């Protein structure tokens, strides 16, 4: 019998896990598959760890990976993928925003229609703030223009993948992980299905505006070098403008003589140009800092304990 691994990143989800476990079990019991439920406790400060451990004590299908601190959802997903052993692997949020009831349909697409992956996107974004919706929309517009890797708007991390695709993802060992990009980068035949956005069953979202903003920057820096090109182009444009201005001023001085007026405009120009310079330096800094983190080759996550055998 084939096995499906369900990876559930959990960060302070004590209220949601019980409800999730109930729902996923309904689906598990209706399917002709072996299952493993991998809960990744991403350094929760509440009772999440104990709840998962208790589940693991009474249910042999429950596995847990306990991180030494909070490493973020990307790290939690990666750990789950690395330690999973299923023929098919799926990633789900603990808050039931990714409905387990879609699983049978997703399995059918892989088994009957030969897809390697079934990914989900939500059709609406109710339950999220206006600010978040607006910025999300902008982010997808920008990234579509500047990156060769296709990012699907509204895509969730909820997806079912074949072992082959999972292995390809595991082989992408980069430190700055942006999964939406990685999933798309590895290719394979992906079927997209849509569902109505669900509200969280319990607990609260772990993302605030700045976290999302820096996550979006990770996506841009990780999958596009367009900002670097933009800064070079800006440099060239400014050189051209200054060249025209120099000629203009020389001619003006020769024709009308020299007076010392014009310092306020000069001050403005200096401010403007040094602003642009710092902006471009900042762009370079972003790439440099990401490169720095990659070069250091630090582990993506550190496991404190787990009940999964043969992990190294
Ligand atoms: N999560 C995590 N580590 C983090 C933040 C979130 O493992 O540092 C988990 C969280 O427990 C949940 C999933 O990632 O299962 C999605 O988080 P959340 O529901 O807060 O995000 P949203 O649905 O609001 O995008
Ligand atoms: Mg959620």
**pLDDT tens digits, 78-95:** 999 999 999 999 999 998
**Domain shared by 131 and 162, yes or no:** yes
Ligand nearest to the CA of 156: 1
Q: Is residue 310 part of a domain?
A: no
**Domain shared by 70 and 215, yes or no:** yes
Q: Which residue has the tokens 């109505």?
A: 196
Give the pLDDT of residue 129.
77
**Domain shared by 146 and 109, yes or no:** yes
Read off the CATH number of the domain in which 143 is found: 3.90.550.10
Could you tell me if 178 and 219 are in contact, meaning their C-beta atoms sit under 8 angstroms apart? yes
Does the Cβ of 155 fall within 6 Å of ligand 1?
A: no
DSSP 8-class letter at 206 = S
Name the residue with the closest Cα to ligand 1, atom 13.
93
Does the Cβ of 15 fall within 6 Å of ligand 1?
A: no
Does the Cβ of 10 fall within 6 Å of ligand 1?
A: yes
DSSP 8-class letter at 203 = S
**Domain shared by 282 and 216, yes or no:** no
Using 50, 70 and 90 to split pLDDT, how confident is the model at 279? confident
**Domain shared by 131 and 247, yes or no:** no
Query: What distances in angstroms separate CA 188 from CA 117, 138, 303, one per listed residue?
Result: 7, 27, 30
Say what the pTM is. Answer: 0.82
**Cα 269 to averaged position of ligand 1 atoms, centre (Å):** 46
Count of domains forming the chain: 2
DSSP 8-class letter at 266 = H
**pLDDT tens digits, 131-175:** 878 888 888 888 888 988 888 888 889 999 999 999 999 999 999
**Domain shared by 50 and 190, yes or no:** yes
Query: What distances in angstroms separate CA 240 from CA 79, 149, 172, 235, 247, one per listed residue?
Result: 51, 33, 42, 9, 11
**Domain shared by 215 and 232, yes or no:** no
Does the Cβ of 80 fall within 6 Å of ligand 1?
A: no
Ranges of H-type helices in 41-101? 48-58, 73-83
* Domain around 258: 226-295
**Domain shared by 201 and 232, yes or no:** no
**Cα 184 to averaged position of ligand 2 atoms, centre (Å):** 21
Name the residue with the closest Cα to ligand 1, atom 18.
205
Atom of ligand 1 nearest to the CA of 204: 20
**Cα 8 to averaged position of ligand 2 atoms, centre (Å):** 11
Tokens linked to 271: 């401010």
Does the Cβ of 86 fall within 6 Å of ligand 1?
A: no
Inform me whether the pLDDT recorded for 9 exceeds 90. Answer: yes
Ligand nearest to the CA of 69: 1
Average pLDDT, rounded, for the chain? 89
Does the Cβ of 14 fall within 6 Å of ligand 1?
A: no
Ranges of H-type helices in 66-193? 73-83, 103-113, 130-146, 163-170, 179-185
**Cα 67 to averaged position of ligand 2 atoms, centre (Å):** 20
**pLDDT tens digits, 27-66:** 988 888 999 999 999 999 999 999 999 999 999 899 999 9
Does the Cβ of 197 fall within 6 Å of ligand 1?
A: no
**Cα 240 to averaged position of ligand 2 atoms, centre (Å):** 49
**pLDDT tens digits, 110-134:** 999 889 999 998 887 666 778 878 8
């Amino acid at each position: 019998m084939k096995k499906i691994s369900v990876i559930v990143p959990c960060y302070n989800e004590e209220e949601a896990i019980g409800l999730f476990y109930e729902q996923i079990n309904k689906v598990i019991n209706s399917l002709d598959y072996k299952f493993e439920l991998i809960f990744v406790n991403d350094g929760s400060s509440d009772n999440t760890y104990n709840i998962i451990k208790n589940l693991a004590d009474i249910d042999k299908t429950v596995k847990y990976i306990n991180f030494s601190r909070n490493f973020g959802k990307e790290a939690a997903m990666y750990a789950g993928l690395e330690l999973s052993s299923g023929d098919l692997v799926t990633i789900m949020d603990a808050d039931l925003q990714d409905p387990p009831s879609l699983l049978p349909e997703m399995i059918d697409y892989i088994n009957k229609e030969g897809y390697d992956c079934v990914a989900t996107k939500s059709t609406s974004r109710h339950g999220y703030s206006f600010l978040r919706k607006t910025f999300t929309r902008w982010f997808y517009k920008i990234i579509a223009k500047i990156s060769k890797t296709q990012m699907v708007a509204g895509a969730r991390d909820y997806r079912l993948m074949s072992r082959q695709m999972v292995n390809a993802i595991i082989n992408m060992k980069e430190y700055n992980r942006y999964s939406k990009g990685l999933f798309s980068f590895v290719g394979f035949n992906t079927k997209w299905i849509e569902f109505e956005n669900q509200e969280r069953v319990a607990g609260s979202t772990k993302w605030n505006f700045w976290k999302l903003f820096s996550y979006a920057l990770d996506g841009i820096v990780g999958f596009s070098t367009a900002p670097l090109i933009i800064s070079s182009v800006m440099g060239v444009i400014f050189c051209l403008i200054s060249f025209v201005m120099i000629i203009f001023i020389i001619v003006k001085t020769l024709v009308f003589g020299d007076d010392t007026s014009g310092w306020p405009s000069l001050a403005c120009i200096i401010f403007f140009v040094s602003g642009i310079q710092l902006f471009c330096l900042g762009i370079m800094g972003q790439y440099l800092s990401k490169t720095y983190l990659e070069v250091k080759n630090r582990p993506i996550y550190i496991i404190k304990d787990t009940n999964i055998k043969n992990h190294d």
